[in-house]
Amino acid sequence: MTALAPQRIGQRLPKWITWAVLAGSLAVGYGINLTAGAFSLLGGGFLGAIIYVIAITALAWVREGERWAKDRLASALVVAAFVVVMIPLVSLIAMVVVEGSKRFSFTFLNTNMVGVYGETELGGVYHAIVGTLLITGLASLISIPIGLFTAIYLVEYRGGRIARWITFLVDVMTGIPSIVAGLFAYALFAAIFGPGYKSGLIGAVALAVLMTPVVVRSVEEMLKLVPNELREAAYALGVPKWLTIVKVVLRTAVAGITTGVMISIARVIGETAPLLITVGIVSETNFNAFDGRMATLPVYVFRQYAQGGEAASERAWAGALTLILIVMLLNLAARLVSRYFAPKGMS
């Protein structure tokens, strides 16, 4: 945009004035903050930002006229919006890392919660990691094939009116509240096995409902990127359509598809509400996803938080750190896959 920036007309203020006013405003802001009592990084910054917006607008209004003053006001507010959003992101990550690392250790990752009561340094997250991996794995087993084939249907077979309906419903399905997916899975299994049946599978079905539309969306985007010339070349060689899809289209898009699938796994691995009402929590490690309650990381974090007390709170933060690490690793792996395994010649 800089190339398009309007030329200086008339008496514009010099460029350094923005920084000078910003520095001055922050100084005044923190000054007020200090004289008022307790120093606070956010409070002073907040005051300084308000003073800056008013000062730069007033200055520009006097020296540059109304139009430029409005322009400066808008710029200041737009930048402020971005800075404001950095506050939750930075504070959240800082909190998770600082509070989480108090209890995060190999022992924490490697023990479950059997026999852990009251204020104790004991207890860990092993059973919850096992449960999360099993349930998310099952959900992926259900939703990746369905999502993949639906995307193939939408892009390669172009089903006309039905395809348009599916596209629309997939869009709507991405908006299903996660707790509603949990209620559905509960009602489904209560109807089949009776209300007493508890297993990780119920949670996996709920997660699959949430995950499938995300998989469809991302795979669809990737298949659309495959150039039509590749398909036509395959047809011209007499390759049947299904082989063209498997060996040409999917082969070309495999990196993007893997990325999309990994990101959708990262999305559902942190889902809490549906697992809370279907799978619940236990203290011991359960390796059988088809029978009995299971512990999962998000529900573990919630239950430790809800339990209250210092030790449980530290476990909640350490669990949150474990969860975030898993999510970030999945995201990172997804980006690496898309960078290094994309077919040559495609950006």
Partner 1 sequence: MAAPTDQRVTPEVIDLRPPSNTGNRVFAGLSAGAGWAIMLTLAAVALFLFVRAAPAFTSSAEEIAGVSILRGQSFWGFVIPLLFGTLLSSVIALLLAVPLSIGIALFISHYAPRRLAQTLGYIVDLLAAIPSVVFGLWGARWLMGTIDPVFQWLSDNLGFLPFFQSYVPPARNIMTASLVLAVMILPIITATIREVFLQTPRLHEEASLALGATRWEMVRQAVLPFARSGIISASMLGLGRALGETMAVLMILSPGFLMNFFLLKPGQHQTIAANIANQFPEASGLGVDVLIATGLMLFIITFLVNVAARAIIARRAEFSGAN
Query: Which residues, numbered 100-139, are part of the site for partner 1 (CB under 8 A)?
Result: none
Nearest distance from C-beta of residue 71 to partner 1, angstroms: 4
Sequence-separated contacts (24+) of 87-94 with Cβ below 8 Å? 87/42, 93/324
Nearest distance from C-beta of residue 258 to partner 1, angstroms: 17
Write the interaction track for partner 1 spanning residues 189-228; mark x where CB under 8 A is met and - where it is not.
-xx---x-------------x--xx--x------------
- Residue 292 lies near partner 1 (rule: CB under 8 A): no
Conformational region of residue 72, where left means phi above 0, alpha means psi within -120 to 50, and beta covers everything else: alpha
- Residue 32 lies near partner 1 (rule: CB under 8 A): no
- Nearest-CA neighbor of 218 among 274, 256, 175, 275? 256
Please name the residues in contact with 290: beta carbons below 8 A apart, sequence gap of 6 or more: 199, 200, 201
Buried b / exposed e over 181-208, threshold 16 CB at 10 Å, is bbebbbeebeeeeeeeebbbbbbbbbbb
Write the interaction track for partner 1 spanning residues 228-257; mark x where CB under 8 A is met and - where it is not.
---------xx-xxxx-xx-----------
Nearest distance from C-beta of residue 257 to partner 1, angstroms: 15
Applying CB under 8 A, which part among 14-22, 51-59, 264-272, 336-344 lies near partner 1?
264-272
According to CB under 8 A, which one of 29, 44, 48, 147 is a site residue for partner 1?
147
According to CB under 8 A, which one of 10, 16, 81, 194 is a site residue for partner 1?
81
Write the interaction track for partner 1 spanning residues 158-177; mark x where CB under 8 A is met and - where it is not.
-x--xx-xx-xxxxxxxxxx
> In degrees rounded to 5, what are phi and psi of residue 208?
-65, -40
- Residue 314 lies near partner 1 (rule: CB under 8 A): no
- Residue 62 lies near partner 1 (rule: CB under 8 A): no
Nearer of residues 195 and 287 to partner 1, judged by Cβ = 195
237 three-state secondary structure: coil
Give the C-alpha separation, 87 to 13, whole Å.
31
- Residue 308 lies near partner 1 (rule: CB under 8 A): no
- Element counts in the chain: helices (H) and strands (E): 14, 0
Give the C-alpha separation, 46 to 252, whole Å.
50
According to CB under 8 A, which one of 20, 23, 109, 187 is a site residue for partner 1?
187
Nearest distance from C-beta of residue 274 to partner 1, angstroms: 9
Nearest distance from C-beta of residue 287 to partner 1, angstroms: 24
Nearest distance from C-beta of residue 323 to partner 1, angstroms: 6
Q: Where are the beta strands (DSSP E) in 154-279?
A: none
According to CB under 8 A, which one of 89, 118, 160, 236 is a site residue for partner 1?
89
CB 61 within 8 A of CB 69: yes
- Nearest-CA neighbor of 134 among 209, 201, 181, 214? 201
Nearer of residues 20 and 246 to partner 1, judged by Cβ = 246
- Residue 85 lies near partner 1 (rule: CB under 8 A): yes
294 three-state secondary structure: coil
Nearer of residues 42 and 62 to partner 1, judged by Cβ = 42
Tell me 39's DSSP state.
-
Total binding residues toward partner 1, as defined by CB under 8 A: 105
CB 278 within 8 A of CB 153: no
Residue list 315-334, contact with partner 1 (CB under 8 A): 316-317, 320, 323-324, 327-328, 331
According to CB under 8 A, which one of 214, 222, 276, 337 is a site residue for partner 1?
276
194 three-state secondary structure: coil
